[in-house]
Structure 1
Amino acid sequence: MGSLALNTLWMLDCASFRGSSMRSTQSLHVLLILLSLLPVHAQETDKKPEPPKPLDLLWAVKIPMRDGVHLNATVYRPHDQKDPLPVIFELTPYISDSYHARAYYFAQHGYVFAIVDVRGRGNSDGKFNPFFQEPQDGHDIVEWIARQPWSNGKVTMWGGSYAGFDQWMTLREAPEHLATIVPVASAHAGADFPMFKNIFSSYEMQWLTFTSGVTGNENLFGESPFWIEKFREMYLQHRPYKELDQIVGNPSPTFQTWVSHPAVDSYWQSLAIAPDQYRAIHIPILTITGSYDGDQTGAFTYYRSHMKYGTEAAKAQHYLIIGPWDHAGTRTPKKEVGGLTFGEASILDMNKLHTDWYDWTLKKGSKPEFLKKRVAYYVMASDEWKYADTLESISNATRTLYLDSDQGHANDVVNSGRMADTKPANSQPDHYVYDPLDLRPADLEKEEIKNSLTDQRYALNLFGNGVVYHSEPFAKDTEISGFAKLTAWIAMDVPDTDFSTTLYEILPDGTSVELTSDNIRARYRESLSQEKLVKPGEVNSYVFDGFTFFSRQIAKGSRLRLVLNCPNSIYVEKNYNSGGVVAEGTAKDAKTAHITVYHDAAHPSRLELPIVQ
């Protein structure tokens, strides 16, 4: 393919719903950084490319939906097809031509591949209503494909991010001829998009502009200086978040609807999969995500729910791969991500892996050699793949580190608190201040941050807004694999604010690696569906249990760094701490938050780490 086609494919693979991953202010730039890089190949491999095989094209195929709307498909078929074949399809809002390379590949490897524009996008009829149209449309596409003369009735799907969401929603509707799915980096509405922990990000309007109208808008989507300028305009002028569509110049009813549902209410819950629907699943599934995948939360929400509610037979044929990749890397792995460099083992041929899976589940072929057990995960730093029977069995020990400090001094990386194996006794609490009118953080966000996972500017520039804790150096190389958990006892003098916490490895040479992070909006500390404002001065337990999965061998001599602060960034919906509607907040609503973090015998703030011994 030419470089333009490769770049377009890669950009579309980058289009995460978390996109700019709002798990921490450091990660907010991931998408913008990615878009600035040079084009990458659809698959990195040392193998000599196979000579192309002839194929046939069916252009402008119209697929009727139950309500009379017709969706447009471009169908790729092997030229020498004599008998009906299994069919792979992708349902995309990103215009079908963007995935020509994938369709071309699979059509040359024994499959019919159909790229279908979602309704209201590309050449499809109807109006695009993100998320809500896909369950029924996905079902109808499966059953229509199954009836075509070039189909043998076995239908599957391909794709990640929005197309991963499509796969789960189609499966929810239980079409008879859906034989398997391979959901990659799957967004989960209400869990990781368009908000995470009920906190919206500025990226939402970037994505909605990308998918506005019927044409592809990837050039505007990738124009990061424009988006930084508009996000800064909202931030520096203290404009309410709900006006971001106006600031961008793209008034969006969809955006206004989203921000009117700031909690996981019935609006978002209608896009979930019910326990009975998980129990009805009977087809094989291959879930793929990455340690730095912006939609990892969505992927694991589906996976864990299926493990909780699914039948034993169905769970036995649900496989999980967790690479070291970012969002785009879950489809096109790269050795370099955000300033980190992974080993050769991290590069999987994803097209071949998909083909092997399809051959096994649709053509009675051999089980993919890579799938040695039901869970495969990559250990960063040691550059190896490891395997487990279940997600929970990856780690076999828990190390608990308790937060503490000397005389309440923990406000920067130099004068930090500590994390130790022993519980503190009569330890004084730590304090910090978050002033929503403080605009100094914007000076850190005038341009893209090219090494987002190793850059330390946020940890080194808290501006008094946050506390920092370091562990002792590790006595030996130690594998941490799984989900961290932080319990922090906190009091404040405002009815609401947002918290962000990020965990790093600080190597012996002083360099930093971001490992994982989590957020909490205080009013949703007990439930994401029901708000409960904070009583000023009351000490509450905040359980950060939404950290992303990571697997890394922490080096001998490295320390862990934990940063806890209140988000104050151009990339996040600002909480002005008033207790009112956050999306409507402006400077006149601002209340300065004085935060107290307790870590004494009665309030043992602690970090729990999943250890592999």
Structure 2
Amino acid sequence: MNAQGSRRTRPKRRSNFDQDIDFSWGVKIPMRDGVQLNATLYKPRGEAKTPVIFTLTPYVADTYHERSNFFARKGYAFALVDCRGRGNSAGDFDPFANEDRDGYDIVEWLARQPWSNGSVAMWGGSYAGFDQWSTLKEFPPHLKTIVPAASAYPGFDFPFIRNIWYPYMMQWLTLTSGKPANNAVFNDTAFWIEKYREHYLAKRPFRELDKTIGNASTVFREWLKHSVPDAYWNAMVPSPEQLRKIKVPILTITGHYDGDQQGALEHYNRHMRYGSAWAKEHHYLIIGPWDHPGTRTPKREVGGITFGEASLVDLNQLHKEWYDWTMKNGKKPVFLKERVAYYVTGEEKWKYADSLEGICRKKRDLYLSVAAKPTGAFSTGIIQPQKPGRLPPDEYVYDPLDTSQAEVERDEVKNFITDQTYVINLSGDGLVYHSKPFSEDTEITGFIRLVAWIAIDVPDTDFWVRLYEIKHDGTSIFLTEDWMRARYRESATTAKLVEPGKIERYDFNKFYFFSRTITKRSVLRLVIRPPNSIYWQKNYNSGGEVSEESARDARTGHVKILHDPEHASYLEIPTLKPVKFA
């Protein structure tokens, strides 16, 4: 095909660009150290001064062309700014390290421009949600509001969670390597699956992952020196003292299936803990039935499930109304009826509360027990309202040298909410518990908790706990999950190896938020297993530095979960009414 023919047959796409918008490419914003960041500016045509919105992104500013056009049409100047060392900005990109000072300098530079009225706000999600918090902690005088969506929280939910690293960190570091966008390699899912599988099957130390990928990374190696949420990570986010001083309204947005939900809610919860009464009254939270991209552009279909029409909130318009309220003395957005808005899946409607804790203060305990007569592949145990009698423990075996999981992880799982791969392929290396069918529709909203009495015969191991709704027709709906590295069972920052054979209490209390009406005749399924997967750092159970471990360090672990009056393992669920089973 020749170039001319290609041009003739290429379909035309109508642009949303408005001719009443002034567009300026290559605007240079000086930082305090002399480095110049690159911005692309969109502003309403005319002489009137306007408020300014900006996003600071490592993903190259061109990504948000249409979004910028929208806000410029609505009467706001919008600046797309490349992070230091990315896109057309000078300097070197050091993830999470410079956005606080750079963000401050951007705010104050924008406020001084002749077309600005001095009011500046921020927009963005994921990394551009994180850097809103990072900028805010420096208190630029002209920053009037932030709207962080899907905000990463370094040292909490990225690049590890519960101190367990995930290989995706190298995929992200490759995306943000150098100055180009690197979108093609980042989005090549097949390439990354094969690289993860290669490393997993070779049983190499996790610290060599960058070599396996083919992108030797000084950032990766620096991060591995900080395997717990220590001072290195804490310096990247607002301190308690800084949170107490915040005096701007905030709108936090996340989703049930947002990979950064935990980061977004950690930012929110810490502000609720340390912020002033005024600041907390002016911090709103939205939790929709969305995945990570959906926190900016919602879609009805997520992970194999189609949610109701009400799930499609026009977030561009909601942002516009929020900025009108906080920077133009407009009315508060009608959608924000109370400070917390959350979507109940199954019931397919929005509900509201004054706080996360106010959604549901009732907790119901459901106990894990042994099935008297196993009737199928998934009848390892049962979930029941009654405390168990004196019953034998359940047990599974985790052999770190078993790499059979790679055989079922050859392809991307797009229907991740309904997929049952991880359950179907259990073979003595995990435990499954089921409740009896619900006798009536029952809403569960909030954070579940699992208290498990466990004994293991190795000094360390990892756990992965997932909860599902299994509908009467056999459809599986993923609800929430949590992880734990045994050595951090008592503290996220201080390791304490396990005394083999000792019975100890493990408190899984950092599950993702979810809200769902469990339908009549559905059952709950609880799965407890090791995260032995190409997508997780492998714990070889030796008790050594996990990133240094390889096949030669492997120790097979036997995990027992107890069910007796002195060691009653139970699942705590938030529901307004008692749970009734058929």
CA contact (8 A) 1:525 1:543 kept: yes
| Aligned-partner Cα distance in 2 for 1:541–1:219 | 46
Q: Supply the AA of the counterpart residue of 1:555.
A: T
What is the DSSP-based 3-state SS (H/G/I as helix, E as strand, rest coil) of the residue aligned with 1:393? helix
CA shift, 1:340, in A, is 0.9
Q: Supply the AA of the counterpart residue of 1:207.
A: W
* 1:421 counterpart = 2:421: no
What is the DSSP-based 3-state SS (H/G/I as helix, E as strand, rest coil) of the residue aligned with 1:154? strand
Please show how residues 368-407 of structure 1 align to structure 2 within 5 Å: 368-406=333-371
Query: How many aligned positions are there?
Result: 564
| Aligned-partner Cα distance in 2 for 1:310–1:249 | 44
Which ranges of structure 1 fall in alignment gaps of 5 or more residues? 1-40, 42-48
Please show how residues 184-263 of structure 1 align to structure 2 within 5 Å: 184-263=149-228
What is the DSSP-based 3-state SS (H/G/I as helix, E as strand, rest coil) of the residue aligned with 1:612? coil
Bigger relative contact order (CA 8 A; separation at least 6):
1
* 1:493 counterpart = 2:434: no
Q: Quote the residue 1:76 is aligned against.
A: 42
* 1:277 counterpart = 2:242: yes
* 1:135 counterpart = 2:110: no
| Aligned-partner Cα distance in 2 for 1:454–1:159 | 29
Q: Quote the residue 1:67 is aligned against.
A: 33
CA offsets, 1:468-518, max 9 Å, x none?
111111110000010001111111111111000000000011110000000
CA shift, 1:58, in A, is 2.0
From 11, 20, 23, give the equivalent of 1:57.
23
Q: Quote the residue 2:298 is aligned against.
A: 333
Q: Supply the AA of the counterpart residue of 2:530.
A: C
What is the DSSP-based 3-state SS (H/G/I as helix, E as strand, rest coil) of the residue aligned with 1:437? coil
CA contact (8 A) 1:118 1:124 kept: yes
CA shift, 1:274, in A, is 1.4
CA offsets, 1:183-215, max 9 Å, x none?
000000001000000111111110000111101
CA shift, 1:533, in A, is 0.7
Q: Supply the AA of the counterpart residue of 2:470.
A: I
CA shift, 1:450, in A, is 2.4
* 1:542 counterpart = 2:510: no
Q: Supply the AA of the counterpart residue of 2:177.
A: S
CA offsets, 1:144-181, max 9 Å, x none?
11111111111000000000000001111111110001
CA shift, 1:69, in A, is 1.0
CA offsets, 1:374-424, max 9 Å, x none?
1100000111000111111111421110111047x8898433201111111
| Aligned-partner Cα distance in 2 for 1:249–1:433 | 34
Structure 2-normalised TM-score?
A: 0.95
| Aligned-partner Cα distance in 2 for 1:466–1:541 | 18
CA contact (8 A) 1:487 1:607 kept: yes
CA contact (8 A) 2:16 2:66 kept: no
What is the DSSP-based 3-state SS (H/G/I as helix, E as strand, rest coil) of the residue aligned with 1:156? strand
What is the DSSP-based 3-state SS (H/G/I as helix, E as strand, rest coil) of the residue aligned with 2:209? helix
Q: Quote the residue 1:571 is aligned against.
A: 535
Q: Supply the AA of the counterpart residue of 1:266.
A: A
From 422, 445, 453, give the equivalent of 1:481.
445
CA contact (8 A) 1:492 1:537 kept: yes
| Aligned-partner Cα distance in 1 for 2:385–2:167 | 39
What is the DSSP-based 3-state SS (H/G/I as helix, E as strand, rest coil) of the residue aligned with 1:378? strand
Alignment RMSD (CA, Å): 1.5
Q: Percent identity?
A: 58
Q: Quote the residue 1:321 is aligned against.
A: 286
Q: Supply the AA of the counterpart residue of 2:448.
A: A
Moved more, 522-531 or 111-120: 522-531
CA offsets, 1:94-136, max 9 Å, x none?
0011111111111111000001000000111111000011111
CA shift, 1:242, in A, is 1.1
Q: Quote the residue 1:598 is aligned against.
A: 562
Q: Supply the AA of the counterpart residue of 1:201.
A: Y
| Aligned-partner Cα distance in 2 for 1:535–1:174 | 47
Moved more, 391-400 or 252-261: 391-400
CA contact (8 A) 2:456 2:500 kept: yes
Q: Quote the residue 1:175 is aligned against.
A: 140
| Aligned-partner Cα distance in 2 for 1:554–1:326 | 20
* 1:102 counterpart = 2:67: yes
CA offsets, 1:288-329, max 9 Å, x none?
000000000011001111111111111111111000100010
CA shift, 1:50, in A, is 8.7
Q: Supply the AA of the counterpart residue of 2:509.
A: D
